[in-house]
Amino acid sequence: MSATAPIVVFTFNRPDHTRRTLAALAANPLADRSDVTIYCDAPRRDDDVPATEAVRAVVREPWGFRSTRIVERDSNFGLARSLITGIGEALDEHPAVIVMEDDLVTSPHFLRFMNEGLEKFADDDRMMSVSGYAYPVEGPMPAAYCLPRTFCWGWATWRRGWALYEHDAEQLLVSLIESDLLYELDFRGTDPMSTILQWTVNGDSRVDSWASRWMASATLHGKLSLFPGRTLVQNIGFDGSGAHATFNLENDRFDSPLAESPISLDGVRAEVDPRALEAHRTLFRRWHGRGGRVASAYFKLSPFLPAMLDRALYVRLARHRLRQRANPATLAALGG
């Protein structure tokens, strides 16, 4: 590869998580060729001060990157504002950026995959991002593949990709409804991101998710992301320590072993991989198939439906679900 992309790392009040994140990243062979900017958010409350100061001590340790720049915020930005500001600053100066949060442990092969993916698809407008995380799907997968969605656990993008990010959740949801893209947003009717986006519109503090907006932006513009066939990232933040992970999910469902060898991009094209697509739809059906009676019945029936019928049925269900929670703008887009 000709050059390495800059890395931005976002931290707040978890010194132990931050240490593990930086240690794993520094264990990548490309670490000493990488320039890292670490953003340290300020305390929200007085009782945050000891932990945020501990984080700032951790990031000032010598980690072995080519360069380390530390930005210590004077006021609390929160994750979404921190990310948007930091990514924007990096892409003002560079064509691409790798994005990390303070609760992600990476494989030693993470930086190679991210940089090779950024370089391979640098001039391909069909691509939105590179993901370091791979969902724990069953069955053999290609070494790497493209899917019609983004993901936010250790990822990268280009200036052109980030330019498509829309932070206005209401505008995003209205545009997706009007463009008849609910089925696509919800990963071909298997992963109800439209509901999360509606909760975000409604101000539900449990899902103040910039990542749902990132996924929705990719769907709205019909973009793809590159994924590894074996995960290069593990999330260690599902322990109640994070601002948006204070409830106990079935956290182990996201787990799979970190890749122990490099991942080749030979032969990978900027097009949806059908085998990977169906493997992920099967996984998401299993995850979400225990909802209400109607949803459960749909998920059981869906694999056997013709594609056009499946889409039509899901869109009808999704629109009904959104109407139950809709704000006025969403309701107007849905037709009242």
As a whole number, mean pLDDT of residues 191-198 equals: 93
Output the six-digit token pair for 310.
């499946």
Answer yes or no: is pLDDT of 253 > 90: no
CA 28 to chain centre: 21
Answer yes or no: is pLDDT of 190 > 90: yes
- Are the C-beta atoms of 209 and 200 separated by less than 8 Å? yes
- Are the C-beta atoms of 197 and 173 separated by less than 8 Å? yes
Average pLDDT, the chain: 93
For 149-187, the pLDDT digits (tens) are 999 999 999 999 999 999 999 999 999 999 999 999 999
pLDDT score for 75: 95
For 255-307, the pLDDT digits (tens) are 889 999 999 999 999 999 999 999 999 999 999 877 678 888 898 999 999 99
Q: What is the chain's Cα-based Rg?
A: 20
pTM given for the model: 0.94
pLDDT score for 255: 85
Q: Let me know the angle formed at the C-alpha of 187 by 182 and 190, rounded to the nearest 5 degrees.
A: 95
N-to-C CA span, the chain: 53
> 3-class SS at 217?
helix
Q: pLDDT-derived band of residue 244, with 50, 70 and 90 as boundaries?
A: very low
Q: Kindly state the percentage of the chain with pLDDT values over 90.
A: 83
For 28-52, the pLDDT digits (tens) are 999 999 999 999 999 999 999 999 9
Answer yes or no: is pLDDT of 246 > 70: no
The sign of the torsion formed by the CA atoms of 188, 189, 190, 192 equals positive
